[in-house]
Chain A
Amino acid sequence: MGVCITGIGIVSAIGMSVEENLNALREGKTGIGPLHYLRGTKAQLAGEVKASNDDLRASLGVGTGYVSRTSLLGLQAAREAWGDNKRSGVIRTGIISATSVGGMDRSEVFYKDYLAQNSPDYQLLTTHDSGSTTERIARELGITGYIDTLSTACSSGVNAIMLGARLILQGTLDRVLVGGSDALSGFTIDGFRSLMIYDDQWCRPFDDSRAGLNLGEGAGFLLLEGEKSLELTGNKPICNVSGWANAADAYHQTASSPDGKGATLAIQNAISRAGIGLDQISYVNAHGTGTKNNDHSESVALQNVFGDRVPPFSSTKAFTGHTLAAAGAIEAVFSVLAIQHNLIFPNLNYRTPIAETGLVPATRLETGAEVNAVLSNSFGFGGNNSSLVLTKYE
């Protein structure tokens, strides 16, 4: 039976729920645009969640103002994935979230006042550390015991899913809520601008003219259950988490290797862990950030693994923007939707293949083929490469 996904939740620039996200994906409607809620940044375009912190706090029933947007977004998605499930004294339940900025959205408010000596509010810093964002989500859901946070830059979300699956297989937990959350912040926008990979135009993943990414924000969560938990909850499995792998590129602090070494290892090991053939992968949800370097390196890795039979693939980042630590979790939810509804999502803003590799992504919503297994890639700074294989529940 392995590890089953029984609940999914998501909030992103294209919607506040699974249903809204699915509709936008079907309609090919991007959520990237000028920033409305986060003011004073230099970003022309970003994938902002269409709700203020006050809106989120009100709808989630969170009273305190000392809560990061990262926690609020995480809670929104975690609640949806958790659904009507109950706490249980018998089912050992844990939570693993992933974040790269933690409460930076609050910390930068503090630090600005601190520098200006303008009575800074030190209480804002109680939400700074990444672990506290997960502790907040756990508290709101009443989960105690195994509470953990991973932070491996842009691959964090997939790593949380992988860790959750391993904990269930080792018998440490019966059920675990896994995902990732990151809010937009001036810090990350300036950071990617300083790297000169923030595109002021719409990002164009896998296009020859691609010139960088647009940041986004959001959260994705999935409820994973093992056999014992399923027997007790009676939840209906949607998909299986079948394969996973993480590998280090060990090439450069930020850049991916031109031969795609780490990415190739991650993809190969994840598929081999899933125990299926290369030709059984129906769709690849690529990392595809829209930077020169990533999309080239990822294309090479796909060709390393699949040769000239690369499955239909697309990056959904032109819908959501690059949501950093949340990306792997958000895209895992998209992968579940692909399997559930037999869909292959379009790679928006694509025109011309990358000259060196010639790979052509799916550019239109495809509804005709059966989608039984999806490979989802997430690659991060420090050469942190992760891949996930989800399969139809049998």
Chain B
Amino acid sequence: MDSLKEDLKKQIIEQLNLEDLTAADIADDALLFNDQGIGLDSIDALELIVLLEKYHGIQLTNPEEGKEAFKSINTMAEYIRKRKAA
């Protein structure tokens, strides 16, 4: 199990008040911003930017950049690893 991905799921549930979900309900490749996936919206995208800074020390100043990074848990984990390696 990828611990970064598991942590991310828990952090997202907390930050976005996804009361009805548990980490197990979010698949690594589920589309976060699709209604067939988790159904997040543009306010959530801003909350995810806060989450990245708060838990991972990563600053993302251009909301557009988030669009790619926040597609799924997989892309978020990949983005965090890339930024940390840089």
A/B contact in complex, CB under 8 angstroms: yes
- A interface with B by C-beta (< 8 Å): 194-196, 252-255
- Cβ contacts under 8 Å, B50 to chain A: 194
A193: shortest Cβ distance to chain B, in Å?
Answer: 11
Chain A residue with Cβ nearest B61? A196
CB distance from A382 to the nearest CB of B (A): 12
Asked whether any CB of chain A lies closer than 8 Å to the CB of B37, the reply is no
Offer 13 A-B interface pairs, CB within 8 angstroms, sorted by A: A194-B46, A194-B50, A195-B46, A196-B46, A196-B49, A196-B61, A196-B63, A252-B41, A252-B42, A253-B43, A254-B42, A254-B43, A255-B42
Bound-state CA distance A252–B42 (Å) is 9
B contact patch SS:
helix
Instruction: Report how far A266 CA is from B41 CA in the complex, Å.
Output: 25
> What is the bound-complex CA distance between A153 and B50, given in angstroms?
24
What are the residues of chain A within 8 A of B61 when measuring CB–CB?
196
Question: Which B residues are closer than 8 A to A by beta carbons?
Answer: 41-43, 46, 49-50, 61, 63
Taken together as a complex, chains A and B put the C-alpha atoms of A336 and B61 apart, in Å, by 40
Bound complex: CA A115 to CA B50 (Å): 23
| Residues on the A chain within 8 Å of B41, using CB | 252
- Distance (whole angstroms) from the CB of B39 to the closest CB of chain A: 13
Closest to A197 in B: B63
Expressed in whole angstroms, the minimum distance between the Cβ of A380 and any Cβ of chain B is 16
B46 / chain A contacts, CB cutoff of 8 Å? 194-196
B42 partner residues in chain A, CB cutoff 8 A: 252, 254-255
The residue on A at minimum CB distance from B63 is: A196
**A254 and B49 alpha carbons, distance in the complex (Å):** 17
A residues in contact with B43, CB < 8 Å: 253-254
- Give the Cβ gap from B65 to chain A, nearest Cβ, in Å: 11
- Which residue, A195, A196, A252, A255, has most C-beta atoms of chain B within 10 A? A196
Q: Which residues of B contact A196 (CB under 8 A)?
A: 46, 49, 61, 63
A194 to B42, CA, bound (A): 13
- What separation, in Å, do the CA atoms of A97 and B69 have in the docked complex? 44
Shortest distance from the beta carbon of B61 to any chain A beta carbon, whole Å: 8
Residues on B with beta carbons closer than 8 Å to the beta carbon of A252: 41-42
Min CB distance B40 to A, Å, is 12
Q: Which residues of B contact A253 (CB under 8 A)?
A: 43
Among residues of B, the one whose C-beta sits closest to the C-beta of A195 is B46
Q: From residue A192, how far is it (CB to closest CB) to chain B in Å?
A: 12
Hey, which chain B residues are within 8 Å of A195, CB to CB?
46
Cα of A196 to Cα of B62 in the assembled complex, Å: 8
Instruction: List residues of chain B with CB within 8 A of the CB of A254.
Output: 42-43
In Å, the complex CA distance between A255 and B50 comes to: 19
9 A-B pairs besides A196-B61, A254-B43 with CB distance below 8 A are: A194-B46, A194-B50, A195-B46, A196-B46, A252-B41, A252-B42, A253-B43, A254-B42, A255-B42
8 interchain residue pairs of minimum CB distance: A196-B63, A255-B42, A196-B46, A253-B43, A195-B46, A254-B43, A252-B41, A194-B46
Min C-beta distance of B78 to chain A, whole Å: 23
What residues of chain B lie closer than 8 Å to A194, measured between beta carbons? 46, 50
Kindly provide the distance from the CB of B27 to the nearest chain A CB, expressed in whole angstroms: 26
Given the complex of chains A and B, what is the CA–CA distance between A254 and B43 in angstroms? 8
Looking at the assembled complex, report how far the CB atom of B28 sits from the nearest CB atom of chain A, in whole angstroms. 27
Q: Note all chain A residues with C-beta closer than 8 A to B63.
A: 196
Residue of A nearest to B66 (CB): A196
B74 to chain A minimum Cβ distance, whole angstroms, is: 24
A293 (CB) vs chain B CBs: closest residue: B42
A232 to B9, CA, bound (A): 69
How far is B42's CA from A195's CA once the two chains are assembled, in angstroms? 10
Q: Taking CB as reference atom, which chain B residue is nearest A255? A: B42
CA distance A253 to B40 in the complex (A): 13
